[in-house]
């Protein structure tokens, strides 16, 4: 199997009442740890790339690493997704470099401008059968300690309706009190927004900021048609923790031994998320 788009994945997930785990990747070890877990559980998986990852390992390395994972795991569908693309240019660059799913995040802009930018990306991506995720309701911002800095991300269902009247992305992330990074205390996730929006559209939803979100909330969100659950912070912190543990072993200076121990442990973490998403056995 080669890299796939998220179109088929989302259709099956939405119809089947489960979600696909989308994990932020930036190096070979994390790609291996995630895809090994997905391979063992026969689950589709989305590997996504953020601005930071692109700055560290450019498109060339990232695409080739993910292509290697596809060759190593031929029995599962793997998609390569641009996470929080914030301009037309970065979406086009990703398209050209072989990404099979794009996110255009215009959520900091007024609705009309967000929709206009989203439409520009959709117009081109459609020619290549590459699906586009859009966002409305900017994600909450947290400071270094996890404290809330702003709270303007809970989208109003009416605004979502306006947005979807102006553009038709393939999936939609909606700000519902979620944020990137570790939450300080219990986040107030407004599932009722998804419930209201679900009354007038069957678009698959995307849930960002899943690190630290309660599992029952994530499961409820999936019941409301969330087809993609995004995990970034938890993955990178877990990987570093496992690596620190590996440093205490008799590694004899072999960095691959450290990576292998960290990968194996990360694989177990990812399996838990795949089971939470409900995508085990759905490859």
| 230 near ligand G3H, rule: CB under 6 A | yes
Cβ 71 to Zn ion, closest distance in Å? 28
* Structure token digits, residue 1: 């199997």
Binding residue for ligand G3H, selected from 77, 85, 137, 232, defined by CB under 6 A: 232
Q: How far is the CB of 34 from ligand G3H (least distance, A)?
A: 13
CA distance 86 to 108: 10
Smallest distance from ligand G3H to CB 249, Å: 28
Q: Strand 45-49 to strand 78-85: parallel, antiparallel, or no bridges (unpaired)? A: parallel
205-207 and 226-231: which strand pairing? parallel
- The footprint of ligand G3H on this chain (CB under 6 A) covers a number of residues equal to 14
Q: What residues between 68 and 97 interact with ligand G3H by CB under 6 A?
A: 83-84
Token pair listed for 123:
């117009």
Core vs surface per residue 223-237: b (16+ CB within 10 A) or e:
eebbbbbbbbbbbbe
Which stretch, 69-77, 91-99, 194-202, 228-236, contacts ligand G3H (CB under 6 A)?
Answer: 228-236
Which residues lie near Zn ion (CB under 5 A)?
A: 208
Nearer to ligand G3H, 44 or 261 (CB): 44
15 is catalytic: no
Residues 139, 180: contact at Cβ < 8 Å? Answer: yes
**Contact pick of 39, 175, 177, 209 for ligand G3H (by CB under 6 A):** 209
Is residue 181 a contact point for ligand G3H (CB under 6 A)? yes
Dihedral (CA of 77, 80, 84, 85) sign: negative
Q: Which does 32 bind (CB under 5 to 8 A by kind): Zn ion, ligand G3H, none?
A: none
Measured from the CB atom, the residue of 102 and 258 that comes closer to ligand G3H is 102
Half-sphere exposure of residue 171, counting CA atoms within 13 Å on the CB side?
31
Return all residues near 170 (Cβ < 8 A) that are at least 6 apart. 6, 7, 10, 131, 132, 133, 203, 204
Region near ligand G3H per CB under 6 A, out of 36-44, 69-77, 209-217, 245-253: 209-217
Residue from the set 81, 180, 228, 271 that interacts with ligand G3H by CB under 6 A: 180
Residues serving a catalytic function are 83
């Amino acid at each position: 199997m080669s890299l796939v788009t998220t179109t088929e994945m989302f259709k099956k997930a939405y119809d089947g009442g489960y979600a696909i785990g989308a994990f932020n990747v930036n190096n070979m070890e994390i790609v291996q740890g995630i895809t090994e877990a997905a391979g063992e559980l026969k689950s589709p998986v989305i590997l996504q790339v953020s601005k930071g990852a692109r700055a560290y390992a450019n498109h060339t390395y990232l695409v080739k690493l993910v292509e290697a994972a596809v060759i190593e795991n031929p029995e599962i569908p793997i998609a390569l997704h641009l996470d929080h693309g914030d301009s037309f240019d970065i979406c086009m660059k990703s398209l050209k470099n072989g990404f099979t799913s794009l996110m255009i995040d215009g959520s900091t802009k007024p609705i009309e401008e967000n929709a206009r930018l989203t439409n520009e990306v959709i117009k081109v991506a459609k020619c290549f059968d590459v699906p586009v995720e859009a966002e409305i309701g900017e994600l909450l911002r947290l400071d270094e300690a996890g404290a809330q800095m702003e709270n303007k991300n809970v989208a109003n269902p009416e605004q979502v309706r306006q947005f979807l009247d102006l553009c038709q992305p393939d999936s939609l992330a909606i700000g519902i009190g979620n944020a990137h990074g570790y939450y300080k205390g219990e986040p107030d996730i407004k599932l009722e927004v998804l419930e209201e929006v679900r009354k007038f559209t069957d678009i698959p939803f995307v849930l960002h900021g899943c690190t630290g979100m309660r599992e029952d909330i994530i499961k409820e969100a999936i019941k409301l048609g969330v087809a993609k659950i995004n995990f970034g912070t938890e993955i990178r912190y877990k990987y570093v923790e496992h690596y620190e543990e590996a440093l205490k072993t008799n590694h004899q200076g072999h960095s691959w031994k450290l990576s292998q121990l960290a990968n194996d442990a990360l694989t177990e973490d990812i399996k838990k998320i795949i089971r939470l998403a409900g995508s085990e056995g759905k490859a």
